[in-house]
Amino acid sequence: MIKQNRATPLTHILRDPVLLFFVLLVFAGLSLFILFPLYKILAYSVTGENGGFSMAAAIEAITSPTYLRTFRNSLVLGLVTACIATTIGYIFAYALTRTALPFKGFFKAIATIPVISPPFVLSLSMIFLFGRNGLITRKLLGIDNFNVYGMHSLVVVQSISFFPIAYLTLTGILEKLNPAVEDAALNLGASRARIFRTVTLPLSLPGIVSALLLVFIQSMEDFSNPAVISGNFSTLAVEAYRTITGMYDMRGGAMMALLLLAPTLMAFILQKYWLSGKSFVTVTGKPTSGRQLNTDPKVVWPLFGFCAAIAFIVILFYGTVLVGAFVKIWGINFSFTLAHFKYVMTLGWEPLKNSATLALFATPLTGMLGMIIAFLVVRKEFPGRRLMEFVSMLTFAVPGTVVGIGYILAFNEKPFLLTGTAFLIVMAFTFRNMPVGIEAGTSTLLQIDKSIEEASSILGASSSTTFRRITLPMLRQAFFSGLVYSFVRSMTAVSAVIFLISPRWNLSTISIFSLFESSKYSAAAAFIVVMIVIIIIAIGILDRLVKLLGAPAIRQQE
> 12 vs 152, which CB is nearer to another protein?
12
Rounded to a whole number of angstroms, the minimum distance from the CB of residue 473 to another protein is 5
Q: Which of 47, 87, 457, 514 binds another protein (CB under 8 A)?
A: 457
DSSP secondary structure of 4-73: --TTHHHHHHHT-HHHHHHHHHHHHHHIIIIIHHHHHHHHHHTB-TTSSB--HHHHHHHH-HHHHHHHHH
Q: Which of 87, 133, 462, 514 binds another protein (CB under 8 A)?
A: 462
Question: Should residue 548 be labelled a site residue for another protein when binding is judged by CB under 8 A?
Answer: no
Question: Should residue 64 be labelled a site residue for another protein when binding is judged by CB under 8 A?
Answer: no
Name the one range near another protein by CB under 8 A: 132-140, 220-228, 256-264, 460-468: 460-468
The whole-angstrom separation of Cα 79 and Cα 220 is 9
> Taking CB under 8 A as the rule, which mask of x and - marks residues 7-36 in contact with another protein?
-x--xx--xx--------------------
Q: Which of 452, 533, 537, 548 binds another protein (CB under 8 A)?
A: 452
DSSP secondary structure of 149-203: -SHHHHHHHHHHHHHHHHHHHHHHHHHHS-HHHHHHHHHTT--HHHHIIIIIHHH
The whole-angstrom separation of Cα 441 and Cα 300 is 36
Name the one range near another protein by CB under 8 A: 261-269, 284-292, 329-337, 457-465: 457-465
Rounded to a whole number of angstroms, the minimum distance from the CB of residue 465 to another protein is 6
Positions 227 through 266 that interact with another protein (CB under 8 A)? none
Rounded to a whole number of angstroms, the minimum distance from the CB of residue 367 to another protein is 18
- How many positions of this chain bind another protein (CB under 8 A)? 33
> 106 vs 273, which CB is nearer to another protein?
273
Rounded to a whole number of angstroms, the minimum distance from the CB of residue 553 to another protein is 5
What are the Cα distances from residue 431, in Å, to 407, 434, 484? Answer: 12, 5, 16
Rounded to a whole number of angstroms, the minimum distance from the CB of residue 437 to another protein is 20
Rounded to a whole number of angstroms, the minimum distance from the CB of residue 188 to another protein is 33
Say whether 449 sits in a helix, a strand or coil. coil
Q: Which of 2, 51, 145, 189 binds another protein (CB under 8 A)?
A: 2
> 1 vs 332, which CB is nearer to another protein?
1
CB-based contact 441:475 (threshold 8 Å): yes
**Is the CA virtual torsion 503, 122, 86, 196 positive or negative?**
negative
Q: Which of 125, 355, 456, 511 binds another protein (CB under 8 A)?
A: 456
CB-based contact 434:370 (threshold 8 Å): yes
Residues 6+ apart with CB under 8 A from 54: 46, 47, 48
> Taking CB under 8 A as the rule, which mask of x and - marks residues 463-482 in contact with another protein?
--x---xx--xx--------
Of 478, 284, 281, 268, residue with least CA distance to 378: 478
Rounded to a whole number of angstroms, the minimum distance from the CB of residue 212 to another protein is 28
Of 355, 439, 366, residue with least CA distance to 118: 355
The whole-angstrom separation of Cα 231 and Cα 313 is 23
Name the one range near another protein by CB under 8 A: 134-142, 403-411, 494-502, 548-556: 548-556
DSSP secondary structure of 108-133: HHHHHHHHHSPTTHHHHHHHHHHSTT
The whole-angstrom separation of Cα 241 and Cα 232 is 15
> 12 vs 385, which CB is nearer to another protein?
12
The whole-angstrom separation of Cα 56 and Cα 167 is 44
Rounded to a whole number of angstroms, the minimum distance from the CB of residue 266 to another protein is 24
Where along the sequence are the contacts to another protein (CB under 8 A)? 1-6, 8, 11-12, 15-16, 449, 451-452, 454-462, 465, 469-470, 473-474, 552-553, 556-558
